[in-house]
Amino acid sequence: MTSSDSLERPPSVDKILSSDAASHLIERYGRSSVTQVLRAVLESLRQAYKADKNSLPSMDTLIQDLELRLEEHAGFSLKRILNLSGTVLHTNLGRALLPQDVLNTVVEVASNATNLEYDLDSGKRGDRDTHIESLICNLTGAEAATVVNNNAAAVLLVLNTLGHSKEVPVSRGELVEIGGSFRIPEIMSRSGCTLVEVGATNRTHLKDYRDAISANTALLMKVHTSNYEIRGFTNEVSPSEVANLAHDNNLPFVNDLGSGSLIDLTKFGLPDEPTVSSAIKAGADVVTFSGDKLLGGPQAGIIVGTRQLIQEIKANPMKRALRVDKMTIAALFEILKLYEDPDRLAQHLPTLRFLTRPLEALNTLANNLLDPLSSTLGNYAEVSIVDVESQIGSGSLPLERLQSKAICIKAKSDSALRALAASFRGLPLPVIGRIHDGTLLFDLRTMEDTAEFIDQLNHLDLSESTS
Ligand SMILES: *Cc1c(COP(=O)(O)O)cnc(C)c1O
C-alpha cells in the first residue's frame, strides 16, 4: 500500500504522529497543536467510517487535511481586507484607518514601561487623561476633557454621573438607534436615568422642553440624529435654545454629537457636520463624540465640557471600567496633533484623504482594474466602470453622498453573482464590495493601490459562478 491509496481503517493518533509526514508539521506548529487538531480529524474519520466503510481517504489526503486545519488553527481570524463597499467609515469593517507614522508612537508606548499614570515631576500617581487633555481642549475650546472606550461609553458615563435616579428630557425625534445595539432609551435606563420623551417625532418646540422640566430633572440633552433625517413638516429646537433654557433652570446641557468633527468640513468641499467647538460655543456644558468616526482616529469616546462637570464625570467609579488603554492614548495624541496643521490634514489622515479624493484619481484606478478583471472573469461576467455614490458611514452625514467611481460586475444569475462575491471574499486579501441592483460593485474611493488586488486575481475560485 502506498501513501496515495485509501486507508483500510482509521489510523491511530500515534501512528500518524510518528510518520515522516507529520514530523515537519510538528516542527512547524508544535506537538501539542498537531496532536489536538489530529484528534479532531481522526474523530471525524471514525464517524464517517462507521457510516461507510469505503469513506476513508489516503494517507496523503489525510496529511493535507491536517495541514489545512493546522493553518486555520494557528491563524488570526481578524485580518486585513480591502474595503470597496463604498462606505468610508464602515463599523463592521473597523471604521477609521490610522496612518502608519502614528503607529510608531503606539509601538513605543506598548512595548515599554511608560508614565501612563505617573507624574514625573512629583513622583506621585498621575492621571492618564493629562497626556491628551490640553490638546483636546485646544482643538475644541473646551475647559476640560476625558476619554473613554467609545462614544457609547461616553454617553453612558455622562448620563450615569449627572442624571442617575433623575429625569432626562430628550426630543422624540432624537431617540436614535445606532448600529443595532446603541439605543438612547436603553442607554438611558442602564445609566439609571428616567427618559422623559419630549415633543412629537417630527416636531419638538421649546415649550415642550419647558413643560418637561420638573424638580427631578437632571439635565437637558440633545442627540445628533446621526443616521437618519426627519423631513417634511418638522421642527427641531436648536442647541443654543435648549442650552439657554437649561441654564435658566440651573441645569447642564449635554449634546451627544456622535461623530462630531473638529474642523469645518465644508472647507474641503464636504457636507456640513456640526463641529465640537461650535457645539460648545452654542452653550453645551458637555459634548460627547467618537474618536474613530469623522475624527479619523482610534476607537474612543471623547467627553469635553466645563471643568466642574468633567471633574464629576472623572470621579465616577464607572470611569475606571470604561477607560482607554495606553495604545489608544498614544494613537489619539498623534491623530490630534495632525489637526494642528489643517492644511496638510487631508494628506495625512486616511479618513479625510478618502473623503476628498478627486474623481479623476478614482477613474484612473477603475481603468487600471478594468482589463485584468475582464480577462480573469472572461465568460463568467461582464465588467464595466460606473458612476456611484459613496457614503461616509458610521452615522456621519447619513444622507449626503459623494460622487465616486466603481467597477461593476454583472453575472449570469443572482446565484452566480453571490458566488462571485463570495470568491472575492475568499481571496488571500479578502475584497468586500456591495451588491446593488443585481450587480457587484467595487467602489474605488477607499482603494489606495490596484497592484495587490490584481496580483491575487489568479486565486479567484470561479467554479460556482458559471451559470
Ligand atoms: C455613533 C454614535 C454613538 C455611539 O458611538 P460609538 O463610537 O459607536 O460607541 C452615540 N451617539 C451618536 C449620536 C452616534 O452617532
**106 burial type by CB count under 10 A (0-12 exposed, 13-18 middle, 19+ buried):** buried
Is residue 286 within 8 A of residue 142, CB to CB? The reply is: no
pLDDT at position 1 is 65
- The H or E element spanning position 346 is helix 345-348
The yes-or-no verdict on residue 204 having pLDDT over 70 is yes
pLDDT at position 280 is 98
Ligand 1 atom closest to Cα of residue 394: 1
From the CA of 150, how far away is ligand 1's center (Å)?
Answer: 8
* Structural domains counted in the chain: 3
Question: Which of 332, 334, 335, 316 has its CA nearest to residue 324?
Answer: 332
- Domain end: 279, 312, 344, which one? 344
Same domain, 63 and 134: no
CA-angle at 28, arms to 22 and 29, nearest 5°: 85
- Other CB atoms within 10 A of residue 237 CB: 21
Neighbouring C-alpha atoms within 13 Å toward the C-beta of 400: 17
What confidence tens digit (pLDDT) does each residue in 322-335 have?
999 999 999 999 99
Give mean pLDDT, residues 191-218.
96
Q: How many helices (H) and strands (E) would you count in the chain? A: 19, 17
The yes-or-no verdict on residue 466 having pLDDT over 80 is no
Query: Considering the chain, what is the average pLDDT of its residues?
Result: 94
| Atom 14 of ligand 1: nearest residue by CA position | 258
The yes-or-no verdict on residue 397 having pLDDT over 80 is no
416, amino acid identity: A
Is residue 70 within 8 A of residue 95, CB to CB? The reply is: no
Same domain, 274 and 396: no
- Domain end: 317, 344, 371, which one? 344
Give mean pLDDT, residues 424-430.
95
Same domain, 191 and 242: yes
The grid coordinates of residue 226 equal 446621526
CA–CA gap between residue 297 and residue 288 (Å, rounded): 15
Within-domain flag for 397:
yes
Same domain, 59 and 110: no
CA–CA gap between residue 342 and residue 311 (Å, rounded): 30
- Residue of 95, 225, 226 to mutate, ligand 1, most atoms within 8 A of C-beta: 226
Within-domain flag for 67:
yes
Name the least confident of 24-28, 148-152, 159-163, 288-292: 24-28
Percentage of residues in the chain with pLDDT exceeding 90? Answer: 82
CA–CA gap between residue 68 and residue 261 (Å, rounded): 46
Cell 479625510 -> residue: 352
Ligand 1 atom closest to Cα of residue 155: 10
Q: Is pLDDT larger for residue 165 or for residue 463?
A: 165
Bridge partners of residue 278, in order along the sequence: none
The yes-or-no verdict on residue 4 having pLDDT over 90 is no
Within-domain flag for 320:
yes
The yes-or-no verdict on residue 304 having pLDDT over 70 is yes
DSSP string, 61-81: HHHHHHHHHHHHHHS-SS---
Is residue 267 within 8 A of residue 299, CB to CB? The reply is: no
Give mean pLDDT, residues 433-460.
96
Q: Which residues line ligand 1 (CB under 6 A)?
A: 150-152, 155, 176, 178, 182, 223-224, 226, 256, 258-259, 290, 301, 395
Same domain, 29 and 86: no
Question: Which of 151, 181, 404, 100 has its CA nearest to residue 291?
Answer: 151
Same domain, 237 and 162: yes
User: How remote is the C-alpha of 398 from its chain's centroid?
Assistant: 16
- Other CB atoms within 10 A of residue 2 CB: 7
| Atom 5 of ligand 1: nearest residue by CA position | 151
Same domain, 184 and 252: yes
Within-domain flag for 350:
no
Residue range of the domain that includes 54: 13-74
Within-domain flag for 152:
yes
Same domain, 411 and 448: yes
From the CA of 59, how far away is ligand 1's center (Å)?
Answer: 54
- Rounded-to-5 percentages of helix, strand, coil across the chain: 45, 20, 35
Is residue 392 within 8 A of residue 294, CB to CB? The reply is: yes
What confidence tens digit (pLDDT) does each residue in 86-133 have?
999 999 999 999 999 899 999 999 999 999 999 999 999 999 999 999
Question: Which of 277, 222, 278 has its CA nearest to residue 246?
Answer: 222
What CATH number does the domain containing 381 carry? 3.90.1150.180
- The H or E element spanning position 399 is strand 396-411
Ligand 1 atom closest to Cα of residue 226: 15
DSSP string, 106-161: HHHHHSS---TTEETTTTEE--TTHHHHHHHHHHH--SEEEEESSHHHHHHHHHHH
C-alpha distances out from residue 64 to 69, 172, 377, 422, 423, Å: 9, 60, 29, 24, 22
Same domain, 49 and 172: no
pLDDT at position 395 is 65
Same domain, 235 and 181: yes
Name the least confident of 133-142, 170-179, 239-248, 420-429: 170-179
Is residue 436 within 8 A of residue 84, CB to CB? The reply is: no
- The H or E element spanning position 37 is helix 31-51
pLDDT at position 393 is 85
| Atom 3 of ligand 1: nearest residue by CA position | 258
Q: Is pLDDT larger for residue 343 or for residue 115?
A: 115
Give mean pLDDT, residues 276-294.
97
Within-domain flag for 377:
yes
Within-domain flag for 388:
yes
> Structure pTM?
0.90
pLDDT at position 414 is 95
Cell 498537531 -> residue: 34
Same domain, 184 and 247: yes
- The H or E element spanning position 183 is strand 182-183
Same domain, 40 and 105: no
The yes-or-no verdict on residue 261 having pLDDT over 90 is yes
Is residue 16 within 8 A of residue 45, CB to CB? The reply is: no
The grid coordinates of residue 18 equal 510518528
pLDDT at position 467 is 66
Within-domain flag for 466:
no
What CATH number does the domain containing 143 carry? 3.40.640.10
